[in-house]
Amino acid sequence: MFTGNGKGKTSAALGGVVRALGHGLRVHIVYFMKGEYPYGEQPVLEKLENVSFERFGFTDFCDPDNVTEEEKEQAHRALSAARQAMSSGKYDLVVLDEVNVASSWQLIDVQDVVGMIKDKPDRVELILTGRGADPRVIELADLVTEMRKLKHPYDRGILSRKGFDF
């Protein structure tokens, strides 16, 4: 699991996907909060074999203090899709991108994430990303890296750059 406030969580998951593919494993990625945002990896993933993905959520970032029913519905659909992929026997690795944010903002119940991890078949690996990982989820994870921001160009007023930040 990759959590924390620093950059590199989704990137690290994506790097893990590339390695898994290199070893012939089959991968499914569920984006919880990306909507139609043009993440740079998608055209590359589309060219590769043995990897598929589904996107849920919205283009505009949620306001955690004002989540809508539609946002909750999207997050629930994402979690169902991830659970289905995990149980399907079709994948060796399932990525739940930004699931931690979805649960910390209470779009989904963290207990449903915990339940999913507990039901994980032994031969399937999960990678969860997103800041604000719940201690109950950390408890169940084998590997947890916290990405800590030491420096970020936004701090100096630099906006995000296509190809490097998304």
Measured from the CB of residue 150, what is the shortest distance to a copy of itself in angstroms? Answer: 4
Total interface residues for a copy of itself by CB under 8 A = 55
The region that residue 37 occupies, defined by phi over 0 for left and psi between -120 and 50 for alpha, beta otherwise, is beta
Q: What is the DSSP string of 16-80?
A: HHHHHHHTT--EEEEESS-TT---THHHHHHHSTTEEEEE-S-SSPP-TTS--HHHHHHHHHHHH
Helix 110-118, helix 69-87: angle, nearest 10: 0
Q: CA quadruple 138, 142, 148, 153: dihedral positive or negative?
A: negative
Measured from the CB of residue 116, what is the shortest distance to a copy of itself in angstroms? Answer: 19
For the chain, the maximum distance between any two Cα atoms, rounded to a whole number of angstroms, is 47
Residue 159 interacts with a copy of itself (CB under 8 A)?
no
Site string for a copy of itself, 4-43 (x = CB under 8 A): x-xxxxxxxxxxx-xxxxxxxx-------------xxxxx
Residue recorded with tokens 């930040």: 165
Q: Whose Cβ is closer to a copy of itself: residue 17's or residue 82's?
A: 17
Among 59, 142, 157, 159, indicate the residue that binds a copy of itself (CB under 8 A). 142
Measured from the CB of residue 25, what is the shortest distance to a copy of itself in angstroms? Answer: 5
Q: Whose Cβ is closer to a copy of itself: residue 64's or residue 153's?
A: 153
Q: Whose Cβ is closer to a copy of itself: residue 42's or residue 80's?
A: 42
Contact residues: a copy of itself, CB under 8 A: 2-4, 6-16, 18-25, 39-45, 47-48, 92-93, 125, 138, 141-153, 156, 158, 161-164, 166
